[in-house]
Chain A
């Protein structure tokens, strides 16, 4: 049975914790709004880009002359997994769910006799993957100094990935991130960026003139397409991270509230018991006289 003093201290400390989680939740909510705005602002570019590229890709096809970024280099041996996670913790299952998906995929690939290489973005995922897949790490991109993810960050990652592809150190590149659905739901997603995959759009719009040529534009656009996909993923991930943190901190705040209630009841009971005990002692003392 803890003493009254202990209980009081305990309640105080839980109250402090609640203050902190509450503050973190508010900060995450503000950041989430910013991240969502950024993701929304980036959408028109990505959509147009994909539309034009898929139209071009359908025109050029995947024949011999097609650019390698589209058709692949004809091999399927070395898989590079780009695992995008957050730089900070305390965001619920956000990082674990990405890592889980990446691990599952990596295990499948290894079982199929492929070579797996991993490029991590964000240190939390790196920490989680280190034990099992430490040998597969080929690089790490640190975004902890970056306050606001910009297109330049995506370009850095894209350049690294494309350099690996061109040097023959990777045949297939897949990115892993959380797609933002809502504050309470983020969907771990894997997306193959090299060779580029497009969903058939079916409806081919007006016949365009291409200047210079279809192939030249496609060759010019593909590297940008990789960067754009990575950028979109980074933004989605950013919004998901804040959403996950927000709901995790909301849970923590509510939990702390419940705990304070329980502890307060316990505290009041013990106090009452102590008073009753004292009264009984006084009364029985008086009766004895």
Chain B
């Protein structure tokens, strides 16, 4: 078994996951990145996307909508604004997320960022196949 990092996923309301993982694929704001043991300390903000974690029991995926990740040589903490395990995600929830983002985009002054968020959500939806 490859060496592991301590993976934590917390949302404002609760701690969703905390276990050792061999690799964590993070949807960073400037592109996906994979964190493994010995990664240089990094803080990156997240874009809406799929967070994939490879642990002892195989790969788990979570839908995250934003927040940031703190990567250390021995731990990865993801602080997501909203996070839902992919297999608990329903099309209805997905629709709600997209609707929220569209609504935010309509009132947001920063058009580019808001539109990007909506586009990211659509991309994630296609990727997740919901």
Are A207 and B44 in contact, with the CB atoms below 8 A? Answer: no
In angstroms, Cα B68 to Cα A221, docked, is 8
Mark the stretch among B12-20, B53-61, B86-94, B121-129 that contacts chain A: B12-20
What's the Cα separation between A151 and B79 when bound, in Å?
Answer: 14
Q: Select which of A44, A208, A210, A224 is within 8 A of B81 by beta carbon.
A: A224
B: number of interface residues (CB 8 Å): 26
Given contact pairs A41-B14, A151-B11, A224-B67, A49 touches B79 in the complex (Cβ within 8 A):
yes
Interface size class of A (residues with CB under 8 A): 20 to 34
Check if B27 is an interface residue, CB within 8 A of chain A: no
- Is B43 at the interface (CB under 8 A from chain A)? yes
- The answer to whether the Cβ of A165 comes within 8 Å of any Cβ in the partner chain is no
A211 lies within 8 A of B10 (CB): no
B25 contacts partner chain A, Cβ-Cβ < 8 Å = no
Determine which of A42, A150, A217 lies in contact with B68 in the assembled complex, contact meaning CB atoms within 8 Å.
A217
Is A202 positioned at the interface, with any CB of B under 8 Å from its CB?
no
Q: Is the CB of A41 within 8 A of B15?
A: yes
Decide yes or no whether A48 CB sits under 8 A from chain B. Answer: yes
Complex-state Cα separation, A220 to B43, whole angstroms: 12
Chain B residue with the shortest CB-CB distance to A210: B43
> How far apart are A168's CB and chain B's nearest CB, in angstroms?
14
Contacts of A151 in B (CB 8 A): 11-13, 81-82
- Contact partner, B79, options A45, A154, A209, A212, Cβ 8 Å: A45
A214 CB to closest chain B CB, in angstroms? 9
Question: Measured between C-beta atoms, what is the minimum distance from A158 to chain B in Å?
Answer: 11
Q: Tell me, yes or no, whether A38 is within 8 Å of chain B by CB.
A: yes
- B72 near A48 (CB under 8 angstroms)? no
- Alpha-carbon gap, A216 to B47, bound state (A): 13
Chain B residues positioned under 8 Å from A38 (CB to CB): 13
Least distance between A44 CB and chain B CB atoms (Å): 5
Q: A43-79 interface mask toward B, CB cutoff 8 Å, 1 = contact, 0 = none?
A: 0111011001000100000000000000000000000
Contact A212 B13 (CB under 8 A): no
Q: Are B68 and A52 in contact (CB under 8 A)?
A: yes
A52 close to B10 (CB less than 8 A): no
A180 interface contact, C-beta 8 A: no
Q: Does A231 contact B (CB under 8 A)?
A: yes
> Would A42 and B14 count as touching, CB distance under 8 A?
yes
On whether the beta carbons of A208 and B29 are closer than 8 Å, the reply is no
* A216 and B43 alpha carbons, distance in the complex (Å): 11
Does A283 lie at the interface of the complex (its beta carbon under 8 Å from any beta carbon of B)? no
B106 at the interface (CB under 8 A from A): no
Query: Which of B10, B42, B82 contacts A208 (CB under 8 A)?
Result: B42
User: Of A48, A154, A216, which one neighbours B45 at CB under 8 angstroms?
Assistant: A216
Report B-chain residues with C-beta under 8 Å of the C-beta of A208. Answer: 41-43, 70
Selected from B11, B41, B66, B82, the residue in CB contact (under 8 A) with A206 is B41
A178 at the interface (CB under 8 A from B): no
Contact call B13/A211, Cβ cutoff below 8 A: no
Q: With both chains docked as a complex, state the minimum distance between the C-beta of B43 and any C-beta of chain A, in angstroms.
A: 5
Partner-B contacts on A (CB < 8 A): 38, 41-42, 44-46, 48-49, 52, 56, 150-151, 154, 206-212, 216-217, 220-221, 224, 227-228, 231
Q: List 6 A-B contacts (CB under 8 A).
A: A46-B12, A48-B77, A151-B13, A208-B70, A209-B42, A217-B43
